[in-house]
Structure 1
Amino acid sequence: MGFESKSKLFNVKIIDLDLHRNLIIMNSDDAEELGVVTNNIVLVTAGDYSAYAMVITSKTVTQPGVVALSTQTASALRVSEGDMVGVKPIGLPTSFNALKKRMSGVKLSESEMKSIIQDVVNGIYGEAEIAAFLISQLYHELSEEELSYLVKAMVETGSKLVFEETVYDVHSIGGVPGNSKVALITVPIVAASGLLIPKTSSRAITSPAGTADTMEVLARVDLTIDEIVEIARKVKGVLAWGGKLNLAPADDIFVNIERRLSIDPEQQMVASILSKKLAMSVERLVIDIPVGRGAKVEKVSLAEKLAGLFIRQAGLLGVTIRVALTYGGQPIGTSVGPALEAREALEALIERKGSRSLIDKAILLAGLVMELSGRVQPGQGEEVAREIFVSGKAYEKFKQIIEAQGGNPETKPSDIPIGSHTYTLTSPLEGAVTHIDNTAISLIAKACGAPYDKRAGVKLHAKVGYRVNKGDPLITLYSDSASRLETAVRLLRDLQPIIVEGMLLRTLP
């Protein structure tokens, strides 16, 4: 890192802003004297503590000689209002040449990759440079070596949890609406079998709900590292959000940019998943790749290619892995959106039945995890998992997990509030549902407000193959905002996500 020679001391003012990165507001005259402008990165120091922060300049927010720090920056520096900090401009980071090489498709060395990730985690790079790194992967694929370098660098620049026994996990690459609730059934099945499965998940990136979003309807997911270890030791299963654990922290930074750009580069996705699992000390892992029209992966051949990538990388990293290619041609279950999906998962566990696409998938994945343990013979995992589910042991375990994470274990599906503004589309004719558009369903659920409005989403009353009469309900939209619901209804009419066909296609002439 090359530093400029100028530096200056300032009095501290603290402002309550959270932009998910360190921020410093400087008086325009001070900024000009130091040679920095808005969006530049500076090094801020206070005694033994330091942080890189993005500059915003103003003539009125601060007076000359005073800098305003965001609460996040002040916390990182351990400073209070009125303390003194030093501010020093920085030159181009040493990893900038490596970033330029990555953008042009030149292969990086392990040290070059690590230098980029370290500077991302340290806050030296802004959104433009991080976006450039991610987008470069869409046009210049990482080599297998580069990908392993990326995974290792993402793990090494963060914390790592250590458990006393073998750690198992299951992870879906997502991309199918309704998929986030599957883990709420799979994890308690595995935990009820006696295996340790401390699952951390991200929030939604491009979908209407992530597993963390859905579990948060029932219990806390913003757990600390110590809480996860304690809960895992006590009840064997955890369903937590990984965003505040400093596990592969570069991933959380990347996900924030990916979400805003609505991109999910394949190799970055592999790095994201495997780095989080390694940081959780996962040794046995099942990866779920949904395949079908409107899913992230639409063809089996592409799914097999992606599976090979996971298997080879897991081999390099010492993780035992199984990859399941599952049907993803229509939504999983009958609900999309955090609260609706939490309701459906809880109902399935209580009643020990539900939508086949949900129940069968959750049991299948749980069975594969148990087979990895060696306690269950190959090919028998699904049968054992189904027995745990049907017996009610999975529901009892889920109640333990909810309680351990600060939720109410006696919550019933009807206790979970859903959007107060609704609209139901009915079938225009008698016939059969022949197609449901995954992409359209996701867009409509997000238009309703999901995942940020947890009560928003859609409920499907019919799936592909169902017969319906004229006037039967097909889909209901939920939102807590009348204006968002109105937008979603217009989108529903434009996209026509559910196709119903009768026997007669047309008459001629």
Structure 2
Amino acid sequence: MLKKLGDCKAAEVYPVDLPPSFDAFKRRLEGKRLDAGDYKRLVGDIVAGLYDEAQIAAFLVSQLHHRLSDEELGYLIRAMVDTGEIVSFGEPVYDEHSIGGVPGNSKVALIVVPIVASKGLLIPKTSSRAITSPAGTADTMEVLARVTFSAEEIHDMALRARGLIVWGGALNLAPADDVFVRVERRIGVDPPTQMVASILAKKLAMSVSRLVIDIPVGRGAKVENEKDAAMLASMFLSQASRLGVTMRVALTFGNEPIGLSVGPALEAREALETLMKGDGPLGLVEKACSLAGLVLELGGVAPRGRGYSLACEILRSGMAYKKFREIIEVQEGDPDVKPEDIRLAPKRFTLEARRDGIVSSIDNVAISLAAKAAGAPDDKTAGIKLHVKTGYRVKKGDPLLTIYASSDARLHEAVRIIEEYNAVVVEGVIVKLFP
């Protein structure tokens, strides 16, 4: 506040009255339903700074105990959009968005966006920074290029490159979402209804009308079973129909990390390698091409059911890498950057297999916690590189994963978590003998 006052030498401070929407706020905490006007006033007061972080946290947590109705969720989304700017492009806008929750997932968009943009579809992707994970898409892209721009800059850049990967938090798009995300990060929660509201509000503010939603499902993911995933998918589709958005929702494999890297710099390296080679870790390529293929189908570029094969062809041909270079350049990065140019943290520890056998599981939670303990995403050079995936056969002494950190203390804590959680389980080939 003092910085905003500038050269002011003195100021009189008075207690602030309760916000005009406080009655609606109390009713929401009690689980009572609010109408469109209630949400408009409540969101407006939150954006105006009339609620503190404790009150906003209470609003978020209330959604875990008293789920918003479909009507209320629609009111919340509209209120979030209406309190900020809207970027219009004058043509159909496409996007792909993952709810996240699986380590290594942030790099997928770095492959999807150039695949889609290379076919001429407009995909100006606004991404978030990490909320509960070791890297958000914006964190990872920032390793390669600038991600903070004004709405006017994004408009012009997107029309030039046809694709962007930028941070939405620097824009005045659905500004209430930036407030909510900041508090969610502090308290470590991401209520499903608020997640849907956050994602769709940002997309509507970017005039997205055709959208693919990715819901990873698996142990340690935000959604651990297909029943809950189907309920979340239904929530997205219901709101999409209300808001005039054409949407497809994909439930994807989320039992283990995506690809072989976790953390901004490591993931940026892996995405860049995959684009340059036109190939990469099977799980990463499968996921990126599947999601990109769905967007291509929404755009009429590929017939339904043929998008995946077209996306793979675009990746293999080098068209996606060529487009990614354009995107990096328009975002003021170095289009000639090579994977080996990306710096990694200097302190390292490699976990080795203690026995011969087969990798039976890799714990998402342990990998996420350890990567964050190592310093990710705030320290972009920190993270974890996997040397194995589930089903790999290993021998005693083979490397399973390597942790990267910038200090011995962070490295020690990350190692402790990996070992305490038994993050990578290696089972013997023979489980039991008879007699």
| TM-score range relative to shorter protein | over 0.9
Q: Match for residue 289 of structure 1?
A: 215
Corresponding residue to 1:230 among 153, 156, 176: 156
Following superposition of structure 1 onto structure 2, how do residues 1-400 of structure 1 map, counting pairs within 5 Å? 23=1, 69=2, 71=3, 73-74=4-5, 80-82=6-8, 88-400=14-326
Give the AA of the match of 1:234.
Answer: R
- 1:385 to partner: Cα distance: 1.0
1:335-394 CA distance string (max 9 Å, x none): 000000000000000011110110111011111001111232111111111111110000
CA distance in 2 between partners of 1:349 and 1:117 (Å):
41
CA distance in 2 between partners of 1:82 and 1:332 (Å):
52
CA distance in 1 between partners of 2:230 and 2:329 (Å):
39
Give the AA of the match of 1:103.
Answer: L
- 1:227 to partner: Cα distance: 1.3
Contact 2:260 2:386 in 1 (8 A): yes
Give the AA of the match of 2:321.
Answer: Y
- Is 2:394 the counterpart of 1:468? yes
| Equivalent position SS for 1:230 | helix
| Equivalent position SS for 1:455 | coil
Contact 2:119 2:301 in 1 (8 A): no
Q: Report which of the two has the higher share of helix.
A: 2
CA distance in 1 between partners of 2:320 and 2:90 (Å):
23
Q: Match for residue 439 of structure 1?
A: 365
| Equivalent position SS for 1:425 | strand
1:141-193 CA distance string (max 9 Å, x none): 00100000000000000111010211000000000000000000000000001
Higher RCO, 1 vs 2 (CA within 8 Å, ≥6 residues apart): 2
- 1:113 to partner: Cα distance: 1.2
Aligned-residue RMSD, C-alpha: 1.3
CA distance in 1 between partners of 2:195 and 2:55 (Å):
18
- 1:85 to partner: Cα distance: 6.6
Instruction: Flag the 1:104–1:506 CA change in 2: closer, same or farther, 3 A.
Output: same
| Equivalent position SS for 1:371 | helix
| Equivalent position SS for 1:474 | strand
- 1:93 to partner: Cα distance: 1.2
CA distance in 2 between partners of 1:86 and 1:314 (Å):
48
CA distance in 2 between partners of 1:289 and 1:492 (Å):
26
- 1:503 to partner: Cα distance: 2.2
Give the AA of the match of 1:399.
Answer: R
Which consecutive segments of 4 or more residues in structure 1 shift more than 2 A? Answer: 82-90, 503-509
- 1:487 to partner: Cα distance: 1.0
Q: Report which of the two has the higher share of strand.
A: 1
Give me the TM-score of the superposition, normalised by structure 2.
Answer: 0.98
- 1:90 to partner: Cα distance: 2.6
CA distance in 2 between partners of 1:507 and 1:360 (Å):
38
Q: Match for residue 413 of structure 2?
A: 487
Corresponding residue to 2:347 among 415, 421, 429: 421
| Equivalent position SS for 1:432 | strand
Give me the TM-score of the superposition, normalised by structure 1.
Answer: 0.84
CA distance in 2 between partners of 1:481 and 1:508 (Å):
50
For these two proteins, the number of residue pairs brought into alignment is 435
CA distance in 1 between partners of 2:148 and 2:129 (Å):
11
1:273-325 CA distance string (max 9 Å, x none): 00000000000000000011111111111111110100000100110000011
Unpaired runs of 5+ residues, structure 1, are 1-22, 24-68, 75-79
Unpaired runs of 5+ residues, structure 2, are none
Contact 2:371 2:382 in 1 (8 A): yes
CA distance in 1 between partners of 2:306 and 2:369 (Å):
38
| Equivalent position SS for 1:345 | helix
CA distance in 2 between partners of 1:498 and 1:330 (Å):
10
| Equivalent position SS for 1:458 | strand
Larger-gyration structure (1/2): 1
Contact 2:275 2:315 in 1 (8 A): yes
Give the AA of the match of 2:105.
Answer: N
Give the AA of the match of 1:369.
Answer: V
Give the AA of the match of 2:365.
Answer: T
Q: Match for residue 500 of structure 1?
A: 426
Instruction: Flag the 1:145–1:445 CA change in 2: closer, same or farther, 3 A.
Output: same
| Equivalent position SS for 1:282 | coil
